[in-house]
Structure 1
Amino acid sequence: MKQSASARAISYLANREHSAHELAHKLDKAGFDVEEIDDVIQQLKEAGLQSDVRFAESFIRSRANRGYGAVRISMELKERGVAADIIKECMNQAEIDWFTLAAEVRCKRFGEEMPDDYKSKAKQQRFLQYRGFTHEQITESFNLTDDEK
């Protein structure tokens, strides 16, 4: 017996929050009709079971806890179909000190010691940039002392 699009979507949401775009993509891959997918997602939104805002808040917390910066998190949310205004609002509401997080990530990966040559510092800067921290956050991560973190 084939599962309905609604039941399938609810089972996806039971595991974790999904953006409407992600949910539509998964249901499309499962072979459901586009109109049926749109109807199901609209019903889930109206019932409060699917929310891009809730998804974005959860995603931001999760990725920040794993040591990723605001630039990368925003890009990943955009890739998942979350609207720019929702991303901006949720990033502003997230009570995360990105400067401190950048310093913590740098120290966790490379230790407390400051790099003693240009090559080592450049390597650390590239790592933090890849992780999604801004130039200012990266620069400041080298300036924070232990008592400031």
Structure 2
Amino acid sequence: MSGWGHKRRNTVGQDAHEDGEDGSSPSSPAAEGKRGRQPLTPLQRALALLTRREHSRRELARKLVERGVEAAEAEAVVERLAGEGWQDDRRYAELVVRSRVSGGYGPRRIRAELSQQGLEADLISEAMDGFDGDWTETACDLVRRRFGPAGLQSLAQRRKAADLLFRRGFEGDAIQRATRLGAED
């Protein structure tokens, strides 16, 4: 039965508080909670974010500023991490393309997302060119997953599929081909 301020008997038989005056455990520095830790430096904050997942330069700087780091210092930290290879917009772009394609998104949506993250047009083009699949086949796969292997059986289903593909960022020709599934069989 331990709780805040709960008294316990120590080995000498005296009453002792489990918690110290400031709420920290008096026993050892290793047992200290978050309150006893030094605040993270901007570099440590950035590294903590990058160990969870890739970030674009813009996104990483924005998150640091949101966490109280001055904008100039955040930019300097991001620049340092990019120089040391911890942060790489090219790697980030490639990861986003792979991730979004596997999630059923088309080229328009992916390009827009990468652009929104502040990536340069040449990096976006390079990452998109790195996709070695077929956008039409990706659209067809999404339609099969959503509407079943039998394909689209009615005009209403074709319209729903076309709307889905459009929202997901596919081009017109891929939408047309994917919405013909089941119609020619």
Q: CA deviation at 1:117?
A: 3.2
1:73 equivalent among 110, 115, 126: 110
Structure 1: gaps (5+ residues): none
Using the TM superposition, name which of 29-38 and 109-118 deviates more. Answer: 109-118
Deviation, 1:144, is 6.0
Aligned to 1:139: 176
C-alpha distance after superposition, 1:121-141 (max 9, x if no partner)? 111100111111111111121
- The residue correspondences of 1:22-101 to structure 2 (distance < 5 A) are 22-101=59-138
Structure 1's consecutive aligned runs of 4 or more residues displaced over 4 angstroms after TM superposition are none
Task: Write the letter of the residue equivalent to 1:77.
Answer: L
In the alignment, the residues of structure 1 paired with residue 72 and residue 100 of structure 2 have an alpha-carbon distance, to the nearest angstrom, of 33
Question: In the aligned structure 1, how far is the partner of 2:97 from the partner of 2:68?
Answer: 30
Compare 101-110 and 69-78 and name the one that shifted more.
Answer: 69-78
Aligned to 1:126: 163
| Shift of residue 113, structure 1, vs aligned partner | 2.7
Q: Distance between the aligned counterparts of 1:93 and 1:143, measured in 2?
A: 28
Structure with higher Rg: it is 2
Distance 1:106 1:144 in 2: 8
Question: Deviation at 1:71?
Answer: 0.9
Distance 2:151 2:72 in 1: 57
Q: How many residues matched?
A: 145
TM-score (norm 2): 0.74
Mapped to 2, the partners of 1:127 and 1:84 lie a distance apart of 26
Is it true that 1:8 corresponds to 2:45 in the alignment? yes
Give identity over the alignment, percent: 35
Distance in 1, Cα, partners of 2:153 & 2:48: 52
- TM-score, length basis structure 1: 0.91
Q: Helix, strand or coil: the match of 2:81?
A: helix
TM-fit CA distance, 1:27: 0.2
Q: Which has more helix, going by share of residues?
A: 1
Structure 2: state its 5+ residue gaps.
Answer: 1-37
